[in-house]
């Protein structure tokens, strides 16, 4: 490296150290922060952050310091972890006006091309604009969600057929089902049974989200000025990676939207959120502006398929690990539906509702950024100072802490027990706090959660009616118990495991085939 480059690199390193020391000095001068582990000079708790099973480590810290809110120093920056429903309600809900920024939005979206993503967007004028909020939320009101039910029902029945034909590929089939619902309802796109290009775009994009939202994975997360250095500079590898990710991210935004526009022009467009919205805004004075917002919103919805796949993967795991729960759920379905038809949205089965709620509580689908907030101004909570710019973790670590709070959900919260949601009469306990924490908090809560939960519900009840899910056997005929461990992606998934998914009867097999062919 030329001497001038070495000098520049040295200046950057000195600047980095000075920047960290300054942040640490300011941090120490503030009022008392929430309790937390002591760190090392300059780096703070950076090397002490848990790499796996972080929710357990943070819950243990909470118990150790006898506080439902703890703090860590990461390279001079403050990370706040909330470990109770009370702290979440007090900060992320009641004070959502100042706790609705995003941790990751300061550096990454411009490089990766995610500036349009509703979930990653900074809390500001664009996110709060009346137009953006109106277009997005209206499409997912309960009355509008009913329009999507035929598609969700068709997708669930195609899922049954694919499970019948190749049960070992269940993870792939779940992704196909979720992609079918999103692409059909949002864009009017029919996806291919295998190797669909739209599903491929979604999977590549999810990889980029997982990388950019892992807090502290890149130096730019701690040294924002690195976003101005050229790609070849030490520490700027994130720019090269982001350039590659940008291809899939741009395709996610542009490719399906271009399909809708072309279909409308050709007169072949199917009814969808996009087609209805474009017809509505046609000829409006601000039509061009509204189209930009619409395209951004649809792209954000496209990103959301992963949460449905995660929840259904958890359902498959739970039925594998808890066969007695599966038998109870099947009996409840049989009592209402019988065994000579497939379930539909008209069936009211509280035990199935409880299973879906328990799926979302037991292992919530969303991880990392979609629950990670940033506070926009100094605040005080229970006498503790929360400095402006602090990262406030609401990711799976903290969500699990809340959804596993025995004071709210009863004992044995690490076990899958749907009965915790039911009254003595077998009805859903409406007075109990729901699993809404799985979909975010405050103004950052997911507006599409109703649609997502109904997609999960119809798939769950359909699988229970037609299939038995069993543990796989080893060569000695002994059942193989899944580990129950989860990945650390944006959407949490069970680590790959094998199970047997077999039709409950020949009648069930025949019903599945008839439903799809009809």
Q: Which contacts (CB < 8 Å, 24+ apart) does range 162-169 have?
A: 163/463, 163/467, 163/501, 164/503, 164/509, 164/512, 164/513, 167/500, 167/501, 167/502, 168/498
The helix (run of H) or strand (run of E) holding residue 69 is: strand 69-74
The alpha carbon of 388 is separated from its chain's Cα centroid by a whole number of angstroms, namely 26
* 104 known member of a binding site: no
Please tell me the total number of residues recorded for the chain in this structure: 518
Q: Which residues of 317-329 are buried (b: 16+ CB within 10 A; e: fewer)?
A: bbbbbbeebbebb
Q: What share of the chain is helix, strand, coil (3-state, %, to 5)?
A: 55, 10, 35
131 in Cβ contact with 289 (< 8 Å) = yes
Q: How many helices (H) and strands (E) does the chain have?
A: 20, 9
Three-state DSSP string of 453-474:
HHHHHHHHHHHHHHEEEEECEC
d(Cα 270, Cα 275) in Å, to the nearest integer? 7
d(Cα 299, Cα 87) in Å, to the nearest integer? 32
To the nearest 10°, report the CA torsion of 338, 344, 346, 347. 40
Rounded to 10 deg, the angle between the 287-303 and 130-138 helix axes is 50
d(Cα 389, Cα 23) in Å, to the nearest integer? 11
Tokens representing residue 117 in the block: 């993503």
Other beta carbons within 10 Å of 428: 15
Three-state DSSP string of 278-315:
HHHHCCCCCHHHHHHHHHHHHHHHHHCHHHHHHHHHHH
Longest dimension (CA), the chain: 80
d(Cα 456, Cα 412) in Å, to the nearest integer? 24
239 in Cβ contact with 231 (< 8 Å) = yes
For residue 308, list its beta bridge partners: none
**What angle is formed at CA 172 by the lines to CA 170 and CA 174, rounded to 5 degrees?**
70
Other beta carbons within 10 Å of 417: 19
Other beta carbons within 10 Å of 495: 11
The annotated binding site is made up of: 446
The annotated binding site for heme is made up of: 446
């Amino acid at each position: 490296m030329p001497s001038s480059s070495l000098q520049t690199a040295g200046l950057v390193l000195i600047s980095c150290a000075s920047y960290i020391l300054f942040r640490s000095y300011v941090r120490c001068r503030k009022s008392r922060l929430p309790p937390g582990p002591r760190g090392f000079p300059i780096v703070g708790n950076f090397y002490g952050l848990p790499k796996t099973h972080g929710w357990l480590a943070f819950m243990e810290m909470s118990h150790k310091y006898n506080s439902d809110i703890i703090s860590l120093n990461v390279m001079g920056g403050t990370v706040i972890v909330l470990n109770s429903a009370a702290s979440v309600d007090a900060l992320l809900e009641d004070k959502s006006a100042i706790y609705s920024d995003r941790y990751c939005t300061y550096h990454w979206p411009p490089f990766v091309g995610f500036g349009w993503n509703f979930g990653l967007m900074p809390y500001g004028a664009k996110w709060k604009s009346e137009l953006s909020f109106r277009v997005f939320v209206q499409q997912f009101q309960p009355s509008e969600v009913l329009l999507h039910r035929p598609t969700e029902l068709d997708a669930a029945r195609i899922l049954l057929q694919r499970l019948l034909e190749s049960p070992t590929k269940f993870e792939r089939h779940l992704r196909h089902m979720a992609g079918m619902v999103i692409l059909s309802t949002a864009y009017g796109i029919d996806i291919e049974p295998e190797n669909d290009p739209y599903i491929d775009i979604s999977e590549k994009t999810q990889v980029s989200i997982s990388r950019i939202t892992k807090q502290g994975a890149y130096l730019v997360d701690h040294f924002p000025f690195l976003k101005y250095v050229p790609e070849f500079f030490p520490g700027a590898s994130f720019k090269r990676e982001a350039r590659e990710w940008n291809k899939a991210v741009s395709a996610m935004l542009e490719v399906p939207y271009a399909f809708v526009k072309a279909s409308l022009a050709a007169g072949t467009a199917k009814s969808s959120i996009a087609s209805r919205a474009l017809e509505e805004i046609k000829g409006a004075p601000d039509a061009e502006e509204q189209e930009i917002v619409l395209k951004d919103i649809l792209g954000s919805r496209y990103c959301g398929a992963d949460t449905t796949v995660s929840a259904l993967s958890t359902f498959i795991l739970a039925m594998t690990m808890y066969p007695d729960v599966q038998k109870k759920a099947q009996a409840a379905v049989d009592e209402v539906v019988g065994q000579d038809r497939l379930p539909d949205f008209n069936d009211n089965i509280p035990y199935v509702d409880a299973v879906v709620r328990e799926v979302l509580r037991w292992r919530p689908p969303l991880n990392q950024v979609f629950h990670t907030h940033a506070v926009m101004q100094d605040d005080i909570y229970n006498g503790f100072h929360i400095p402006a710019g602090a990262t406030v973790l609401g990711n799976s670590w903290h969500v699990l802490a809340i959804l596993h709070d025995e004071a709210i959900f009863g004992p044995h919260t690490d076990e899958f027990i749907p009965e915790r949601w039911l009254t003595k009469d077998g009805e859903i306990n409406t007075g109990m706090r729901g699993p809404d924490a799985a979909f975010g908090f405050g103004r950052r809560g997911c507006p599409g959660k109703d649609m997502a939960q109904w997609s999960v519900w119809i798939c769950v009840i359909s699988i229970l009616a037609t299939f038995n899910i069993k543990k796989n056997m080893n060569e000695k005929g002994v059942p193989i118990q899944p580990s129950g461990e989860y990945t650390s992606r944006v959407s949490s998934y069970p680590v790959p495991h094998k199970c047997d998914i077999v039709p409950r009867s020949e009648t069930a097999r025949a019903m599945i085939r008839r439903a799809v062919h009809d």
